[in-house]
Amino acid sequence: MATAGGKSVVIGDVQNLNPINGKITGASAKSELVKSKLPNTILGKIWKLSDIDRDGMLDADEFALAMHLVNLKLEGHEVPSELPEHLVPPTKQAINGI
């Protein structure tokens, strides 16, 4: 689980979200993401960037990425319009064509 420079992570652990075969459903992930109090437009953008394999679910790597993007935004950074290469989890790089 990525932490933002040792700061407390705002959002819960993946294991609290009743993952199915290691993946969190879109509904569960969304209910967790809204706790960040970020606008829906931002959360939608974060979701699109995080669901790298586009299966409508977040696995542990994708969820960690979503949390990372939420924390970035909460710290005042902009959410990138495209996922920077260094943020793509190693397990997803083949899918992303890198």
User: Would you tell me which residues interact with Ca ion (CB under 5 A)?
Assistant: 51, 53, 55, 62
* Exposure string over 33-49, b if 16+ CB within 10 A, otherwise e: beebebeeebbebbbeb
Nearer to Ca ion, 32 or 51 (CB): 51
Q: Which two tokens stand for residue 93?
A: 């790089």
Q: How far is the CB of 5 from Ca ion (least distance, A)?
A: 26
Number of Cβ within a 10 Å radius of residue 29? 27
Q: How far is the CB of 57 from Ca ion (least distance, A)?
A: 5
Measured from the CB atom, the residue of 8 and 18 that comes closer to Ca ion is 18
